[in-house]
Chains A and B, each alone.
Chain A
Amino acid sequence: MPLEVNGKTYETDEEGYLANLNDWNEDLAKAMAEADGTTLDENHWEVINFLREYYEEYQIAPAVRVLTKAIGKKLGPDKGNSKYLYELFPYGPAKQACKYAGLPKPTGCV
């Protein structure tokens, strides 16, 4: 099911994850979030931007402890935990945040 944003069409997989990482832009992330009834604020963006940076370096989304540690450093220690991340991304930080960041869905026993 392709995604249409700003008059352009983007290819996605069955669950709406972007097929090509390079297609990603901020408007796409906003559109994906809106479709889920979420408005992205600056805290969401900290997570999304970190995911994209990490992916660029390691070709995989960060493990939960890597993510919580990084977010704790950026947003304060009270936010460096998965409870906070689940408040931001109720469908799970690994899956929902990866989707908005244009990354593939994590696979496996997770």
Chain B
Amino acid sequence: MADFETPEVKEYLDIPALKRGVMGNSKPFVSKEQFQEPLGFPGELVDNWQQVAVDKLGELLKTNRGLQVFMDSCVKCGACTDKCHYFLGTSDPRNMPVARQDLLRGVYRRYYTLPGKLFPKLVGAMDLTEDLLDQWYSYYHQCSECRRCSVYCPYGIDTAEVTMAARDIMNAVGKGQKYSNEIIGKVFKIGNNLGLPQPALEDTLEGLEEEVKEDTGADVRYPLDEEGAEVLLVTPSADFFAEPHVDGLIGYGKVFHQAGISWTLSSHASEAANFGLFIGSMENMKRIAMRIREAALDLGVKRIVFGECGHAWRVAYSFLNTLAGPFDFLDPRYPVPQHICEVTYDLIQRGALTFDKSANDHRRVTFHDSCNVARASRMGDMPGGQFIIPREIIKAVCNHYYDMPPDTIGEATFCCGGGGGLLTDDLMELRVKGALPRMQALKQVVEENGVTHLAAICAICKSQFSKVLPYYGFQMDQIVSVHQLVSDAIVLGQKQ
């Protein structure tokens, strides 16, 4: 399939013998002028890039107090070293979170600390050379900003923030990543990551209505741009386009239908994902988030609900109000925003949905906690709700549910290997290798419990697993949407 070796899945996850620099050549395609300019970044590496980079770092240290603390507080204890899926999968010691952070920390010390200015060699301070910039480009695109290492850091250093800062600096000097930046440009121009214009969305959704009618006989609607609907559903555009994502979208529609909740999608805000987060750009994150506010106001909705998208839920749950608030025009009886899993869970709790669990009897299911949901947000009103609610939904619609080992789920969950703006074919080696810890945990429940399917609530996780499962001897369709399981079991029609 490609010119690299898929790591061997062993009985236990070994800490690999180090192979220095083995991933030094892994680099995503560099963005071009046409993808840089819509985001407000220089089209190519600027002449005085060194100065611009150092100044940008200085600006970020002032505006992001966390970054300043993360630069100063690492004591090199080593707790993070074996926690990163990319380190475990690639054996490259530069992918130990501390070592990757030090690529930026060394520059910080050189230009912003007195010892680093006077005695750089004694304190690990480094000049920002072209070679170092290349290493930044390589290794800051080998972090999926999943924050697993941060869970284990005694000082709470947030590696994702360090990666985001480095990417923000690289964009400021004109060395951006094509994958993320082209996508953000499409959101500005068309409204979603895929670039699906309104007529294509309409055509796709009409097709889904016909399909559900044929399958179930029910007139389930997938409305677009309907003014006066109660709920605006904002979902990743992969839900319109790809499998297994679309089966989740079909499920959301069935839930709304059965609950009698009027809802609509928006062609203006036809994307839940916010890649502004991945590139650490507050300005771009805000511009993307504003589209959701604009759509909600234009359509006169009372609630905003997010579909199955991991980092979208982080941006929505943690930052939406700051980026695009206040949302005082929405119904205050509901959380702003709400996750589709919260909607479905609440309906299940109230006995408003009926399920035929036997419809999923051909599946034995496990759940993959997506990193941004697990470690950066919550669902419902109880601690750990983001872990409990998706599992309770699955258990309500499936007879056979099994968790993967505890040190690989919940807040200790392993990234799918494709998060944080790395879900691109030019990083396939990294993606396959980074999936190793999750594949190892999956293999365990497959062997011990006969698990057949891995369910997830993130578009990136779903696409990543479809792609990498076959490398590890599994089938691409063993990954399913949580609402696909709901969709298959929900009983439509008059409640008995």
Contacts and interface: CB of A to CB of B under 8 A. Distances in A.
Contacts of B211: 65, 69
Interface string B207-244: 11001000000000000000000000000111011110
A65 B179 CA distance: 25
Residues of B in contact with A, size category: 35 or more
A108 B238 CA distance: 7
Given A15-B425, A109-B423, A82 B194 contact: no
Interface string B267-291: 0000001000000000000000000
Contacts of B242: 63-64, 94, 109-110
Interface residues of A, number: 21
Contact of B193 (A59, A86, A94, A108): A108
Contacts of A60: 194-197, 200
B355 to A, nearest CB: 24
Contacts of A65: 204, 207-208, 211, 243, 246
Contacts of B426: 14-15
Contacts of B240: 63
A109 B273 contact: yes
Contacts, number: 86
A107 B186 contact: yes
Contact of A58 (B182, B203, B245, B423): B203
A11 B423 CA distance: 25
B320 to A, nearest CB: 19
A66 interface: yes
A35 to B, nearest CB: 16
A106 interface: yes
Interface in A14-54: 14-15
A71 to B, nearest CB: 13
Chain B CB within 10 A, most for which of A57, A59, A109: A109
B246 A63 contact: yes
A12 B240 CA distance: 27
A59 B237 contact: no
Interface of A: 14-15, 57-60, 62-66, 69, 82, 86, 94-95, 106-110
21 contacts: A14-B29, A57-B199, A58-B199, A59-B197, A60-B194, A60-B196, A63-B200, A64-B241, A64-B242, A65-B204, A65-B208, A69-B211, A82-B243, A95-B425, A107-B194, A108-B236, A109-B237, A109-B423, A109-B459, A109-B460, A110-B194
